[in-house]
Chain A
Amino acid sequence: EIVLTQSPGTLSLSPGERATLSCRASQIVSSNYLAWYQQKPGQAPRLLIYDASTRATGIPDRFSGSGSGTDFTLTISRLEPEDFAVYYCQQYGGSPYTFGQGAKLEIK
């Protein structure tokens, strides 16, 4: 089973700043099959990025994904107030398709 470790656990930033979230896998993620999701309180997760770097439909271009192999990054170029939420990475290169433990992006 691939273990995904997200860092930092909590990131405190202000609107307008740049956010960088990391996701490290315990082994190589096949075909860079890695996704990022956003979850707000009381809501279901929302797909942001798939295949490590492809934005999902309707996702603003301030969200970008990068990385390969075992190290992946989600970058939010300029934070909007609605971006403060919890973010999860998920690998689907090998079953079980595990999630990271989550990273909370909070307003400073």
Chain B
Amino acid sequence: EVQLVQSGAEVKKPGESLKISCKGSGYSFNIYWIGWVRQMPGKGLEWMGIIYPGDSDTRYSPSFQGQVTISADKSITTAHLQWSSLKASDTAMYYCARHQKRGVGRDAFDIWGQGTMVTVSS
């Protein structure tokens, strides 16, 4: 079964760092783009960026460029989303999701993780 399994909920303080994960299984992890999507409480979906695990080619939304880092570790078939200094406004559900077609950068997301809730509060 193709699936993405995300790490558990996090509660952090402003200024702290954080790295959340998304483990892919049941498919060739290296050759499908994986992306991250933010959903703030009660709000819509926001596309953050995508990464191609095969060569770590990464594309960011301008809204998130410099605010987060997207990475992937092929050896453990896991993508990551990290922050160096969290803000209260980073409080949201974060989903990872996989592109449908192998190797295709412009594509829809067909497989989604279950989401990781990040709460940032002093």
Q: Tell me the A residues contacting B by CB distance below 8 Å.
A: 1, 30-31, 33, 35, 37, 39, 44-47, 50-51, 56-57, 88, 90, 92-93, 95-102
Contact = CB atoms under 8 A, between A and B. Distances in A.
5 contacts: A90-B47, A95-B59, A97-B50, A99-B37, A99-B47
B43 to A, nearest CB: 8
Say what secondary structure dominates the interface of chain B. strand
Nearest to A50: B108
Say what secondary structure dominates the interface of chain A. loop
A75 B53 CA distance: 35
Interface residues of B, number: 25
Interface in B95-122: 95, 97, 100, 106-110, 112-115
A45 B108 contact: no
B9 interface: no
Most buried by A among B59, B106, B110, B113: B106
Contacts of B35: 97
A97 B47 contact: yes
